[in-house]
Amino acid sequence: MAKFVQIIEFETTRFDELKALADSMEEDREGSTVRRLTVVADRERPNLYMTIVEFDNYGSAMVNSNQPQTSKFAEKMAQLCVRPPDFYNLNVVYEWEPDS
């Protein structure tokens, strides 16, 4: 199966609180299937962020989504956002990395 990426777009004026929440839950990552997580800020739209989460495949993403700690984090995250987050579920169809 191909790699899978989920992008979570969210708007918040409380990013520092959201980051603190993520940091506090870092110890509770047992069973996580996340391979890489990157948070980016939009340069043109203040307070707009995206989290890019990489998984081995769609199935491993669903395992992660169904874990209680994921639901707990999502609920608390939503409380810190201006509006509900938007989720984009993406199959990776092509990758390229330049030689190091």
Q: Which domains, and CATH codes, for the chain?
A: 4-91 (3.30.70.100)
What is the C-alpha to C-alpha distance for residues 14 and 69, in angstroms, rounded to an integer? 21
Distances (CA, A) of 97 to 20, 94, 100: 32, 10, 8
In this prediction the pTM is 0.88
On whether the CB atoms of residues 65 and 48 are closer than 8 A, the answer is: no
Q: Report which secondary-structure segment, H or E, holds 90.
A: strand 86-91
81-91 pLDDT, tens digit per residue, is 999 999 999 99
Confidence band (pLDDT; 50, 70, 90) for 1? low
